[in-house]
Structure 1
């Protein structure tokens, strides 16, 4: 552990840089509360989404890195803002009419529209969040805003907000439009008559009594304590209050919340707290380069990604360049899976200091699986297409010949990739395939390819085959080698890009590869083969 700690102190991977920043903030000492607190936030008016996963997995990576640098205990709170009032009825829920009758009420005071025996809509979505996080094996502690407000755990901080009301207003009012300023208050009282969370002006503050006075929805002047769940805070003051009340040490947030972080930090300081160490990550873009929006539905969900690829590949996508905007759509999946396999294949042979720079160290908390990487995902996709396989057993017939000893039992990662490849090929690759026959100018090269493949023994390896394919491209009349390989992909695989051909022919088998070229030369429709 000592040697690993020494290496971690200079490791350049961004989670280690973040962890060292946090350790410096603590001056190497355990906080008075006895642990370092990492936090992520979640608004449970909708179901968990890919941004939720990204924030938790990245925070976990920093937490794991911190554990290699220090023996200070850590905790991770996944905090649900479930006392927020429901502002609009989500599109993806049943019983919309029922929900519409409860608009404005805290999410935890609204009946569950799904009828799943949860005590509220908020409780339903919180359960979904926990199941979502548990499915990935995250180590975390779920926390409910409603529980903290109603149990009194925020009471001391809320009374301090009341005491320093004017200072907080000085922070918030310049950020608001003229109309909003006239009614704004950090406190949102919960109406005792309707149960709704109200955005109303505060008519009077009574510091000694710890109460506020406002006009309720029935027009009557009403006095409520700011404690005990009778009020909640607007979300930016709420964020700063929570940081101060819990003494949060580290929290990430997206680029779109930079101004909110600044305001929450000022409020945290007004409440005698120290804002947490932070990390600003970039937002995801769709394939057109537009910002992903839940309301637009132009993104890629966690469930969709996991239909076609393992969770480790999604973790890698989150790990790589978190401060750069990245396109998140289906075409990035195969490349990301192959990048994961590449990093996994390198790990075993790397020096200790290099392992800490390898993304799989961070994806697997320092203990990546030890399994040989026999095949890339791209190769598997092309194998599925070449043999029109819809059953894993068919693919395993080719794989076991290419990699003797490999099996679904001994190679669980590969076994999962086989299943994913079949589904991804069916949904995304097959519909886009466009085979063509070789042109008159190309036919000599393909005849040459068939001759070379026939001259090779069936046991020839991928590198040997690749050299022959390469030599054909150099000696035939193609403007460039790229044009030769492109012709091979279009004629034999029905696509403009493809795998390393030597590896593909070796995996598919030389007898099958010779037959494939022969059928193309004979003018057969390979799409129907």
Structure 2
């Protein structure tokens, strides 16, 4: 695997950020491990938009490791955040979960049937598995564990002592118009983008409560009902005695904050506190966190109160989905990394995030576009193998196929995804028939086992089974279309005869490709080997008509899988029968 060097290519955003991080880290803490960070809220399915929060620092961290630096990539699981709403479309969840709104995510029951102890662990688990499959190395930090064990006690007391300073910073933004009102002329967010923004936690950017007792950047969870619908009514800095009341159940109590562990700093204070506590040098932020007055911008001022500095890092754009309507996860059908990894290899998913700068939006394909993406990837793979890839493309490829720790597992014989999908479609899961067809694609190098085309074949089969509607699946005719065969003119019958006469001698993927494209050429008086430049434009029209005839006779539709693949899948004997050779 190529080693990605420093600033190997001026267009490579990862190398440029790595340069910046090294410079910043040496200035702040020379000789110490570099700390990069991500934050994820397991408040529901962690989707592909959230994955950019992880992949951006992961790729930079991996580049630093390739250069020999020690790096910690922290993923802060914001599992002590409040449960805000019941997400739609989650199996095993109904409206009864609304009674838990306001509790920490780790205090909410997992969906019915889940093997996990609580809501947070249920949704975290799928993300952890996906990151492992993608080769993402990280240190996970549970904010529930941090807060309830008293790790942040001194930081909380410090924030309370400096609550007036924090309030003054926040007050600079409270009277400003919301960013959304300023940007009404911009293109509105689509449903996936709204889901992405909400999933990040930005929709609940609490900055604390101000009442008759003043401003407090800390919110207790109620000792009776467990919810955060509480108001601090008094606090004494000397004794750390804090009194609060609960708006949900009416409970009130006085506690010593120097001993109390059932609460947390509000988000706009919590985030910069953690930057200082962990010494974070690099952390990206979504567009929802980066508008004036939002958490990242305000945090840059609050972090100084804790003796730290704001991380450097880009604002990242949304990740869209094509074919999203076929999904059935959370509201809007926003799919998760686990959903994507069912239909694509981790190398392809890594490549999609690596090849675009963080501020560039892009789409992940769940529809037919995935076939074109795989074609593009395979072409790049071949160029890297023969040394003809451009430096920037080779760098992106290297970041996709592996990490500093080594290459990700690969499909031994990566046949074209569209071919594998077509075969999976036609065979409907019959392993023996699948192996026969795939072996006949290249008779000189037949497959010994389907394991040679795994996991790519499994991904293509999953795509067919989960993303292609039933009315678009390929069903080969059981009997010949006698009416259509009888209605053919001399030219139509001749085209079928030419095809049938050539079947035995062209029974491979390349051979059948040559044959089906060659029949209309021969009928027009040209050689089957004639190139497009040697042929009149009418030949393309003749080829399309011939292909449509074959599709109707084989599968009863105008279109279908690529004809050479379809012919191999149907098999010679059945092709001959359906094309009327025995009539």
What interval of TM-score do these two structures reach, taking the shorter chain for normalisation? Answer: 0.7 to 0.9
Aligned with residue 332 of structure 1, among 359, 364, 369 = 369
Is residue 390 of structure 2 the alignment partner of residue 392 of structure 1? no
Is residue 379 of structure 2 the alignment partner of residue 382 of structure 1? no
Once the two structures are TM-superposed, the CA of residue 209 in structure 1 deviates from its matched residue by: 3.9
CA offsets 1:8-37 (integer angstroms, 9 cap, x no match): 54364333233223223224x783683112
User: Corresponding residue for 1:105?
Assistant: 103
Q: How does 1:67-78 map to 2 (within 5 A)?
A: 67-69=65-67, 71-78=68-75
Q: How far, CA to CA, are the matches of 1:220 and 1:368 in structure 2?
A: 55
User: Corresponding residue for 1:258?
Assistant: 290
Once the two structures are TM-superposed, the CA of residue 314 in structure 1 deviates from its matched residue by: 3.0
Once the two structures are TM-superposed, the CA of residue 144 in structure 1 deviates from its matched residue by: 0.7
Q: Does the 8 Å CA contact 1:189/1:224 hold for their aligned counterparts?
A: no
Mean CA deviation greater in 360-369 or 395-404: 360-369
Q: What is the DSSP-based 3-state SS (H/G/I as helix, E as strand, rest coil) of the residue aligned with 1:77?
A: strand
Q: How far, CA to CA, are the matches of 2:382 and 2:74 in structure 1?
A: 34
User: Corresponding residue for 1:24?
Assistant: 23
Aligned with residue 46 of structure 1, among 44, 59, 65 = 44
Aligned with residue 194 of structure 1, among 215, 225, 234 = 225
Describe the shift of the 1:297–1:119 C-alpha distance in structure 2 as closer, same or farther (beyond 3 A).
Answer: same
Q: Does the 8 Å CA contact 1:108/1:123 hold for their aligned counterparts?
A: yes
Structure 1 runs of 4+ off > 6 angstroms?
177-181, 434-443
Is residue 575 of structure 2 the alignment partner of residue 518 of structure 1? no
Q: Does the 8 Å CA contact 1:287/1:327 hold for their aligned counterparts?
A: yes
Q: How does 1:462-501 map to 2 (within 5 A)?
A: 466=513, 470=517, 483-484=541-542, 486-487=544-545, 489-493=547-551, 494=557, 496=559, 499=562
Aligned with residue 279 of structure 1, among 314, 317, 326 = 314
Once the two structures are TM-superposed, the CA of residue 518 in structure 1 deviates from its matched residue by: 3.2
Mean CA deviation greater in 305-314 or 431-440: 431-440
Q: What is the DSSP-based 3-state SS (H/G/I as helix, E as strand, rest coil) of the residue aligned with 2:225?
A: coil
Q: Does the 8 Å CA contact 1:395/1:418 hold for their aligned counterparts?
A: no
Q: Does the 8 Å CA contact 2:76/2:143 hold for their aligned counterparts?
A: yes
Once the two structures are TM-superposed, the CA of residue 131 in structure 1 deviates from its matched residue by: 4.2
Mean CA deviation greater in 217-226 or 234-243: 217-226
Once the two structures are TM-superposed, the CA of residue 58 in structure 1 deviates from its matched residue by: 4.2
Q: How far, CA to CA, are the matches of 1:262 and 1:220 in structure 2?
A: 35
Once the two structures are TM-superposed, the CA of residue 513 in structure 1 deviates from its matched residue by: 9.9
Q: How far, CA to CA, are the matches of 2:463 and 2:490 in structure 1?
A: 32
Describe the shift of the 1:270–1:252 C-alpha distance in structure 2 as closer, same or farther (beyond 3 A).
Answer: same
Q: How far, CA to CA, are the matches of 1:406 and 1:286 in structure 2?
A: 37
User: Corresponding residue for 1:79?
Assistant: 76
Once the two structures are TM-superposed, the CA of residue 286 in structure 1 deviates from its matched residue by: 4.4
Once the two structures are TM-superposed, the CA of residue 469 in structure 1 deviates from its matched residue by: 5.1
Aligned with residue 498 of structure 2, among 437, 441, 451 = 451
Q: How far, CA to CA, are the matches of 2:421 and 2:66 in structure 1?
A: 38
Once the two structures are TM-superposed, the CA of residue 188 in structure 1 deviates from its matched residue by: 1.2
Describe the shift of the 1:496–1:212 C-alpha distance in structure 2 as closer, same or farther (beyond 3 A).
Answer: farther
Q: How does 1:276-425 map to 2 (within 5 A)?
A: 276-287=311-322, 296-321=331-356, 322=358, 323-326=360-363, 328-350=365-387, 353=391, 356-365=394-403, 367=407, 373=413, 375-384=415-424, 388-403=427-442, 404-407=444-447, 409=449, 412=451, 414-425=453-464
Q: How does 1:76-225 map to 2 (within 5 A)?
A: 76-91=73-88, 92=90, 94=92, 99-112=97-110, 114=112, 120-173=118-171, 175-176=173-174, 185-200=216-231, 202-210=232-240, 212-217=242-247, 218=250, 220=252, 222=254, 224-225=256-257
User: Corresponding residue for 1:56?
Assistant: 54
Give the TM-score taking structure 2 as reference length.
0.72
Could you say what the CA RMSD is over the residues aligned between the two structures, in angstroms? 4.5
Q: How far, CA to CA, are the matches of 1:168 and 1:438 in structure 2?
A: 82
CA offsets 1:294-331 (integer angstroms, 9 cap, x no match): 75232334444344343333333333435224254333
CA offsets 1:364-405 (integer angstroms, 9 cap, x no match): 2263667665621112233445x5453122122122233334
Q: How far, CA to CA, are the matches of 2:513 and 2:46 in structure 1?
A: 46
Once the two structures are TM-superposed, the CA of residue 105 in structure 1 deviates from its matched residue by: 2.2
Once the two structures are TM-superposed, the CA of residue 246 in structure 1 deviates from its matched residue by: 0.9
Once the two structures are TM-superposed, the CA of residue 490 in structure 1 deviates from its matched residue by: 3.9
Q: What is the DSSP-based 3-state SS (H/G/I as helix, E as strand, rest coil) of the residue aligned with 2:75?
A: strand
Q: What is the DSSP-based 3-state SS (H/G/I as helix, E as strand, rest coil) of the residue aligned with 1:348?
A: helix
Q: How far, CA to CA, are the matches of 2:371 and 2:233 in structure 1?
A: 59
Give the TM-score taking structure 1 as reference length.
0.78
Relative contact order, higher structure (CA 8 A, sep 6+): 2
Q: Does the 8 Å CA contact 1:212/1:226 hold for their aligned counterparts?
A: no
Q: How far, CA to CA, are the matches of 1:325 and 1:481 in structure 2?
A: 38
CA offsets 1:165-188 (integer angstroms, 9 cap, x no match): 233223334545799975574321
Count of aligned pairs: 513
Describe the shift of the 1:139–1:285 C-alpha distance in structure 2 as closer, same or farther (beyond 3 A).
Answer: closer
Q: How far, CA to CA, are the matches of 2:113 and 2:251 in structure 1?
A: 35
